[in-house]
Structure formats: C-alpha cells, structure tokens
Amino acid sequence: MAYRWPAGTVFKRIDLDVEDRLCPGCTLAMHVCDHRYHHLWTLQGPTQVVNRLVRCPDPTCASRGQTFSPEAELSISMPRWCMGWDVFCWLGHRRCARHWSVPQLRAELQDTYNIRLSADALERYLGRYHTMLAARQQDPERLSIAYRAIASLVLTIDGLQPEKGHETLYVVRELMGKRVWFAEPLLSSATQEVQRLIVLARQWAERLAKPVRGWRSDKQDAFVTAIAAECPGIPHRYCHNHFLRDVAKPVLEMASRAKVKMRHKVRGWRAIERRVLAERRHTAALVPCPTHETPQTALPAVATPQACAERDLSGGRTDRALDATGLAGPGEAGVADEAGEVVLGYCAAVRGLLNDDQGGPLHPPGVRMSEALQEVRASLDRNFAAQKGGVPSRC
C-alpha cells in the first residue's frame, strides 16, 4: 500500500536528469517527455525526487517508444519505496547490530528525525534488509573470496528455539571461516527435513571446492543419521558444550534442591523488614514536625517507596547500606534509624541472593547462593565481633 503523507507536508525537492542525453540508437539529443515523482523519507525529512524522463524525438529510431530514467534515482532509493537508502541502512544497522525492537526503532525515528512510519512498514522494510543481507552473505563469489585462504572446512548444525512453541531455526555454520552459511526454520526435526540441510551444506562445500574435514553437532538422532548418510567417512564430533550441559544435569538438579533447602532455612527476613519499617513510621509520627513541614517530609528517606525500590535494585550489596547511616532524617528519628538502616540493608542483600538464578553447569546457581549467604554470614559475624570489642584472635 502506498504511503499516505499528511496534508501540508513540506518536501525537500531533488531534481534528477539522465546523464547522457544523446540517444543510444541515433545519437540525437533526447527530449524530456515526462516526469516521475517519488515521495520518500530520508534522514533530512520528507523528500520529493523529480525524475525527468527522456526519449528520442525521431519516430523512426530503433529506440522508439523507450523511455530513459535518471541513473541517480537508484542511488537515493528503490522505486516506490517510502524511504531512502539512508533510512533503510539506519534501520537495518540498529536492528542487526544493536538488536533494537520495532517499537524502539519507531520511537527513535520519530524522536530524532521526525519520521513517522507504522510498525507494519518497519517490519516490511526490515524483511527486505534481511533478504539483502542474506543474499550478500550467500553470494558465491564473495564466499569464494572469503574462503580463498582456508584449506578445509569444519561444519556445524544446531537447532535454536528462541521461543518455546515456535518452529526451530536450524543454523549451518562453518567454523574455519566463522560464518553462518544459512539458516532455515523447520517445523519438524525429522531426519528427512534435516537431511535436506546437510545436502545443501555439502553442495556449498562442493561449490567452494574445499574438503570437509569434519562435522560437529549435538547427538540428536536426525543429525547423526543424516550426516552419516550424506557425508560418509567424514568424522562427526559431538559438541562438547552440549555434552557438558548434559553431564552437568544431575549437578544442576542437586543445586536446585540445595537452593530449596537454603530458601527454607533463610526465612523470616520479610517480617524483620516490615517491623523496621513499622517502627520507623511510628517514630516519625512521634517526632514533632516544624510548622512549615508536613509529617510526610519528616519521614526518613529510606521509608519512601522510591528508596525501597532503589534498595531492591542494589540488592546483594550490603556495604552501601551499612555506610548509609547518614541518609536518615533529622532529629531522633535519624539516630534510631542507624540500626534500622543496617537491618534493611542486610534484608535487601538476602532478598537479592535468594532470587538470583544466574550460573551455568560450571558454577551452578545453588553454589553461588551458598557462597553469597556465607559472605552475608561472615559480614554479620564481623559486625558482631566489632561491637564486642575487636575481632577475636584465631589462636
């Protein structure tokens, strides 16, 4: 569908002419016979490209009936596109290199360049960008240049499922050139379907005229049979990353059970947190307020919702809260707060630890949690010891 420009749009005008005005048939000077107007968005704003079309005046000339367009037209945009190459490349670069979402792209185009395009339009143009990118990546000539210095190939295939329930994207990569060769979404992981991709990869290798030194994939049956059938005699190695993940499965399960136990043991901190906050509100209500201040402002800074949110964000860090006694409000509330602030700091840290889900097979989340809780415990011990007059000697 053509782009509808809002009424009253002011366009920047660009006039284009055919460079060689002499007829290629009879070398007579050609006449302007028509104008083609192309309205589009460039990073400079709404733009009107006026193409002056020409044709040979001689009715008997071999080029009769043929219209010539300005060569420069395609350097601004593709025919009938609603955006120039500059906007198109801007979009593609932000999408592919920075992983911006369509709403983000749309908002940024509007804020920075005042370009208004629908999400549908952006998706359509991003589709075109991806098509061009894939065509360039897969261009046999470019590929053979990229592989000139590489003697043999190592191929891999893997299925990626960015979202559960969607089709799996099968990606074939070559490790020596570190290139994604091609990718295809498949609805089923049947051997037949997968085998087609292996055949395709083999054909690519044949076109490059390079020997395949090996295949690498996980131990999915379809991969094993298809590679054995299509590439007999070529070593097929199982990916150690998948292997490690599978071997570590029992460890991760144990870590998960340990986490449940730790969560069970470390509890009651919410109640402590609530008690401190309730005490604060109580103290704050008791503190007489100067006439020009409302009771609200006499509340210590830490009790406001923003302060709580900030504490949540900084979760896992006790030192800040421990040093933060100066944050409290004026008067007696401030003195009483010193202890409360420390307690809230510890609570925030513990909350952060208990919700932490990071860590892979080599550093399971359960081990991370245990280590972090030990640190909190050590910190508490240090503070208690300091209170009692110095750290006790280990001897």
Residues in touch with Zn ion (CB under 5 A): 23, 25-26, 28, 56, 58, 61, 63
For the packed helices 119-138 and 102-113, what is the interaxial angle rounded to 10 degrees? 110
Q: How far apart are CA 197 and CA 185, in angstroms?
A: 11
Question: Beta-strand (E) ranges in the chain?
Answer: 12-16, 31-42, 45-55, 153-160, 168-174, 179-186, 212-217, 236-238
Question: In Å, what is the CA distance from 27 to each residue of 21, 23, 32, 57, 259?
Answer: 9, 4, 15, 11, 85
CB of 17 to Zn ion, least distance (A): 18
Which of 52, 202 has the CB closer to Zn ion? 52
Q: Give rounded-to-5 percent helix, strand, coil for the chain.
A: 50, 15, 35
Which of 61, 227 has the CB closer to Zn ion? 61
Which of 25, 331 has the CB closer to Zn ion? 25
220 in the Ramachandran plot: left (φ > 0), alpha (ψ -120 to 50) or beta?
Answer: beta
Which of 30, 126 has the CB closer to Zn ion? 30
Q: Which residues contact 199 (CB under 8 A, 6 or more apart)?
A: 230
CB of 21 to Zn ion, least distance (A): 11
CB of 60 to Zn ion, least distance (A): 9
Which of 66, 138 has the CB closer to Zn ion? 66
List the one residue out of 71, 85, 83, 126 whose CA is nearest residue 104. Answer: 126
Q: How far apart are CA 116 and CA 87, in angstroms?
A: 12
Order across the sheet with 12-16: list the strands.
Answer: 12-16, 45-55, 31-42
Which of 62, 119 has the CB closer to Zn ion? 62
Which of 31, 281 has the CB closer to Zn ion? 31
CB of 28 to Zn ion, least distance (A): 5
CB of 62 to Zn ion, least distance (A): 7
* Cβ pair 23, 63 in contact under 8 A: yes
Angle (CA) 255 260 261, round 5°? 95
Q: How far apart are CA 367 and CA 358, in angstroms?
A: 11
CB of 73 to Zn ion, least distance (A): 22
Which of 26, 327 has the CB closer to Zn ion? 26
CB of 29 to Zn ion, least distance (A): 9
CB of 57 to Zn ion, least distance (A): 8
Three-class DSSP category at 194: helix
